[in-house]
A and B are shown apart, each in its own frame.
Chain A
Amino acid sequence: MAKKIDVPFNGTKEQEERLKKALAELKVEHGGQGLMIAALQRAQDIYGYLPEAVQQMIADELGVSLAEVYAVATFYAQFSLYPKGQYKIGVCLGTACYVKGSGDVYKKVCDTLKIEGGQCTDDLKFSLDATRCIGCCGLAPVMTINDDVYGKVTPEEVEGILAKYRD
């Protein structure tokens, strides 16, 4: 379970307009059926996460209950109800990486940042998730920070890699 961080929702009017426009487009593309997951994906692209206020907007726009939106948002690993860090760290815990020691890398990140998987540091700088195979098993164990990929990572290298992202 993600650590609950009390961040007041500060969505802008502009974001709301973008969401409404995206939902209107999706309704046309999907012919009106089965667009909930795509709607949540767009919303998360716009806001970075899916707080209750955003879920409510989607529910209103699609004419469904908040419970229905919440049910889908909490089912899939991609969706987060809490904000993610500025730098999203992913450590692959797919089998190929795991047998090559990615579990130790993961633990080292937890220890270094004092967070667990799914959580975010208090300064909203880093968040950590265990990812499943990202498909570059030749580089196992793999760690990603936003779009940067680090291959053949050892626990000893973790601090040095993280240091690049601290100011």
Chain B
Amino acid sequence: MFRSHILVCGGTGCTSGNSMKIYDALVARIKKEGLEDEVHVTKTGCFGLCALGPIMIVYPEGAFYSQVKLEDVDEIIDEHIIKGRIVTRLLYKETVGEDGNIKALNDTDFYKKQHRVALRNCGVINPEKIEEYIAYDGYEALGKVLTEMTPQDVIDVISKSGLRGRGGAGFPTGRKWQFAKNSPGKKKYVCCNADEGDPGAFMDRSILEGDPHAVIEAMAIAAYAIGADQGYIYVRAEYPIAVQRLTIAIKQAREYGLLGKNIFGTGFNFDLDIRLGAGAFVCGEETALMTSIEGHRGEPRPRPPFPAVKGLFGKPTILNNVETYANIPQIILKGADWFASMGTEKSRGTKVFALGGKIHNTGLVEIPMGTTMREIIYDIGGGCPNGKKFKAAQTGGPSGGCIPAHLIDTPIDYDNLIAIGSMMGSGGLIVMDEDNCMVDIAKFFLEFTVDESCGKCTACRIGTKRLYELLCKVTDGTATMEDLDKMEELCYYIKENSLCGLGQTAPNPVLSTLHYFRDEYEAHVKEKRCPAGVCKKLLRYQIVADKCKGCTLCARNCPVGAITGTVKEPHVIDPEKCIKCGVCMEKCRFGAVIKA
């Protein structure tokens, strides 16, 4: 028995902030003190509150230390572990109650409204130890399925639960499995899409890093349901920690007889291999992903035939996303009704979002479907930093759209998001404030899709490029009002004439910003002005004469000598010479330089 447990976050966010060196230092100190039998140091998956990393929790007190530095290790050991005095200066301030006592993490604003199903083990167990997963009911669902249920029973439970694909499109998972089960054929495959391509989404990575066995168990359940004996996890090579933990997990599962031949002595065979992606956004599309597993250029192909009929290597195949799989074992154990009791009528269960951008609590949150955007951004996320005004939230990444402030009370589910011109996507949620230009954001996403279009369809390959050029005209101030109409027309053309989801959704960021922020586009076109002050070519720096004290600091720092004036008199910027570098604004101590 250990008297104390120290859980150090080993997710990518905290690791990037040096948490593994902190872990090593803790282990070394514990060893030096001879406390190995009393204090247990372990690394876990992501706690979710990435903004405050590196994070660690010390039990039994439940002390939640945030932004820990390597130098803090000795103090934590000396004070907390040896003397039993909590290091209050390192505590996450939300966990300290008014009486000075520690509040449970689940009572803090960030965690209170969350409901962790897919993330339940992240930050709780050591993902590199199968015993810890098993201790948290791991592989019990697989055992139940293999010994008590028929494949059809399994599909019926999943269908009844109302689970829909968490990768973006929201296709009912049970129905997908049913199609694959009904397809004739001896050889079938189960695949997992861990090619999280949405720039700014990292929930799948966190699940793989924090709870890899849940995905393995779910894939085995899926294989039993459709009659497959081989699975592939297609994961981004850019996720080294996830790949490493998955590799360890698969090896352990094989050693325990939970993968391989004759699992649980039932005669059921299933094995699993990892395939590394090589960096192509289009490979998140199911047919492209399978072509890529086959070792080719990851180009999509027409459907039908659907993968459930003719997928990987021409055999019936199901492909689900990491988060979808992470829900499966819980649904089997707790039942379809339990899962269906969460969420909204057409979107059951919970959804994980990666909160990022202009928000206090950057990190991973899991909320019941139907939670409003306001609750996520303000109650959980803590709002925009620096007192800035919330402007829009972007969901669905390059396939999604921007949700403006006046729709912030929309309950989030698949259908509501589509109705307001965005989509669920994989769950990236990027918050933008008044300093973000919506035309610039649309341009950012288009630049991404131009780069990532595989080139197979003309509408997508050339159309996105032309659309990007039109957006450049807007941000350069050379566009006309006709260009805006042309853009809209082109958007619909690309949507209608592209083969796969990438092209069909690529214009969404443009369409949604044109719809909700048309005034911003028009300001660029008609007034040659960028209201957010982002588009460099349209910027004009000005000095407010009333505020200028004539200190000459700006003039001395201007790299092109564009500022003139005499000492103690208001200065002036020559717009012809100004290169809009912004140095004057940074240097001014009186706030006299403004963007006009």
Q: Which residues of A contact B313 (CB under 8 A)?
A: 33-34
How many chain A residues sit at the interface, stated as a range, is: 35 or more
What are 9 A-B contacts defined by CB distance under 8 Å?
A29-B273, A37-B276, A41-B276, A75-B297, A96-B362, A131-B238, A132-B279, A136-B15, A137-B354
Task: Give the docked Cα–Cα distance between A87 and B275 (Å).
Answer: 27
Contact among B206, B278, B436 for A79, CB-based, below 8 A: B278
Contact among B50, B273, B444, B445 for A137, CB-based, below 8 A: B50
Check: A46 CB closer than 8 A to any chain B CB: no
**B431, chain A: closest CB distance, angstroms:** 8
Residue of B nearest to A103 (CB): B444
Residues B13 and A78 in contact, CB atoms below 8 Å apart: no
| B119-177 interface (Cβ within 8 A of A) | none
Check: A139 CB closer than 8 A to any chain B CB: yes
**A63, chain B: closest CB distance, angstroms:** 13
Q: Which residues of A contact B356 (CB under 8 A)?
A: 95-96, 99, 137, 140
Residues A140 and B238 in contact, CB atoms below 8 Å apart: no
Given contacts A93-B199, A133-B201, A137-B356, contact A72 B297 (CB under 8 A): yes
A-binding segment of B91-99, B288-296, B411-419, B572-580: B288-296
Contact among A77, A139, A140, A151 for B278, CB-based, below 8 A: A77
Q: Which residues of A contact B15 (CB under 8 A)?
A: 136
Residues A95 and B428 in contact, CB atoms below 8 Å apart: yes
| A33-73 interface (Cβ within 8 A of B) | 33-38, 40-41, 71-72
Check: A160 CB closer than 8 A to any chain B CB: no
Residues A33 and B280 in contact, CB atoms below 8 Å apart: no
Type the 1/0 row for A124-167, where 1 means its CB is closer than 8 Å to any CB of B. Answer: 00000001111111111010000001010000000000000000
Residue of B nearest to A77 (CB): B279
Residues A135 and B278 in contact, CB atoms below 8 Å apart: no
Task: Give the docked Cα–Cα distance between A37 and B53 (Å).
Answer: 35
Task: Give the docked Cα–Cα distance between A136 and B16 (Å).
Answer: 7
Check: A100 CB closer than 8 A to any chain B CB: yes
Check: A94 CB closer than 8 A to any chain B CB: yes
Given contacts A133-B202, A136-B17, contact A96 B12 (CB under 8 A): no
Chain A residues within CB distance 8 Å of chain B: 29, 33-38, 40-41, 71-72, 75-79, 93-100, 103, 131-140, 142, 149, 151
Given contacts A135-B205, A138-B362, contact A96 B13 (CB under 8 A): no
Residues A76 and B278 in contact, CB atoms below 8 Å apart: yes
Given contacts A71-B297, A93-B199, A151-B16, contact A78 B278 (CB under 8 A): yes
Type the 1/0 row for B518-561, where 1 means its CB is closer than 8 Å to any CB of A. Answer: 00000000000000000000000000000000000000000000
Contact among A40, A75, A135, A151 for B239, CB-based, below 8 A: A135
Task: Give the docked Cα–Cα distance between A98 and B199 (Å).
Answer: 10
Residues B199 and A95 in contact, CB atoms below 8 Å apart: yes
**A148, chain B: closest CB distance, angstroms:** 10
Q: Count chain A CB atoms within 10 A of each CB in B16, B237, B441 and give the residue with the most.
A: B16
Check: B212 CB closer than 8 A to any chain A CB: no
Given contacts A41-B237, A95-B200, contact A34 B298 (CB under 8 A): no
Q: Which residues of B contact A33 (CB under 8 A)?
A: 294-295, 313
